[in-house]
Amino acid sequence: MKSLSTAATGMLAQQLNIEVISNNIANMNTTGFKRQRAEFQDLLYQNIERVGASSSDAGTVVPSGIQVGVGVRAAGVYRISDQGALQNTGNLYDLAINGKGYFRIQLPDGQDAYTRAGSFQIDQNGQLVTPEGYAVQPAVNFPQGAVDVSINEQGEISVKLDGQPNPQQIGQLDLAIFPNEIGLEAIGNNLFLESQASGAANLSSPGQDGFGVVMQGFLENSNVNAVGEITAMISAQRAYELNSKVIQTSDEMLQAANNLR
């Protein structure tokens, strides 16, 4: 019976669905996290009677035919890039992007990575870095003796030095946007890599046309909605149970056929 293998594909699909939902829930408090959604497609169909086939020598045709599907498959896992809520932290080096864009980070191998998580810190050399110590690009070094740090919405970084009344600009942050940002490759630690699917990064100062602005003293929360995820999990669980019931019913039908005298 085809229903056995068909229902098995349904159980595997809902297993993937639950795994995606569980990752969303696990990252509810991850800074800058973007929730994901599993997308599914039906599999090939077996044509028992092909639609439009000739049904007589008088030229009549089959209007609908008989097509039996053989299950479902995962088409992809999409990242939903809705803006997360901005949380005021009061930390001078916490930065959030209000709008589109990613901060640019240099990995130890020299490759650029991108992130929405702006929980930055200062290392022993006065450089602005991620919690893992990866340098924010363009590189920003804070001089010794800085008594105040100001980062405006356009990403301009200014400091006041002891004994100098006027602030001094020491750097300029830029943001990256992509033609297809859901095509970015996630590598963990809130970082993404450019891929062929995402297209090349377009760099510009914050606040330019199409780019978000930088908010100092804020962090972007995860865009995971707890109620929506729990609802999706219940729906996936019920779908899994229904597919398992199909397998059980198919087994009972086969058993009845085997017991015929």
pLDDT at 96 over 80: yes
Distance between CA atoms of 10 and 250, rounded to whole angstroms? 14
Q: Are residues 169 and 189 in the same domain?
A: yes
Residue 205 has pLDDT above 90, yes or no: yes
Residue 145 or residue 104, greater confidence: 104
Residues 62 and 104 in one domain: no
How confident is residue 203, by pLDDT bands cut at 50, 70 and 90? very high
Answer whether residue 164 shows pLDDT above 90. no
Same domain, 216 and 242: no
Residues paired with 203 in a beta bridge: 176
Q: What is the mean pLDDT of residues 201-229?
A: 95
pLDDT at 260 over 80: yes
pTM for the complete prediction? 0.86
* Helix H or strand E segment including 232: helix 226-258
Residue span of the structural domain in which 163 resides: 89-220
Which amino acid would we find at residue 234? Answer: I
Residue 160 and residue 96 share a domain? yes
pLDDT score for 44? 86
Helix, strand, coil abundance in the chain, percent, nearest 5? 25, 35, 40
Q: Are 175 and 101 in contact (CB under 8 A)?
A: yes
Residue 71's pLDDT band (boundaries 50, 70, 90)? very high
Cβ atoms 74, 11 nearer than 8 A: no
Q: What is the mean pLDDT of residues 3-9?
A: 94
Answer yes or no: is pLDDT of 162 > 90.
Answer: no
Q: What is the mean pLDDT of the chain?
A: 92
List pLDDT tens digits, range 102-120.
999 999 999 999 999 999 9
Q: Do 191 and 244 belong to one domain?
A: no
Tell whether the model's pLDDT for residue 133 goes beyond 90.
Answer: yes
According to the model, what pLDDT value does residue 146 have? 79
Same domain, 11 and 133: no
Q: In this structure, are 100 and 192 located in the same domain?
A: yes
Residues 146 and 129 in one domain: yes
For residues 213 and 158, membership in a common domain is answered with yes
- DSSP letter assigned to residue 143: P
pLDDT reported for residue 49: 81
Question: Using CA atoms, how far apart are residues 245 and 248, in angstroms rounded to an integer?
Answer: 5
Share of the chain above pLDDT 90, in %: 76
Residue 147 in this model has a pLDDT that exceeds 90: no
205 and 104 fall within a common domain: yes
pLDDT at residue number 246: 95
Band (pLDDT 50/70/90 cuts) for residue 47 is confident
Residues 138 and 102 in one domain: yes
What's phi and psi for 245, nearest 5 deg? Answer: -65, -35
Kindly state whether residues 208 and 115 are assigned to the same domain. yes
pLDDT given for residue 144 in this prediction: 82
**Average pLDDT of 155-170?**
86
Q: Which of 222, 233, 247 is nearest to 19 (CA)?
A: 233
Structural domain count, the chain: 2
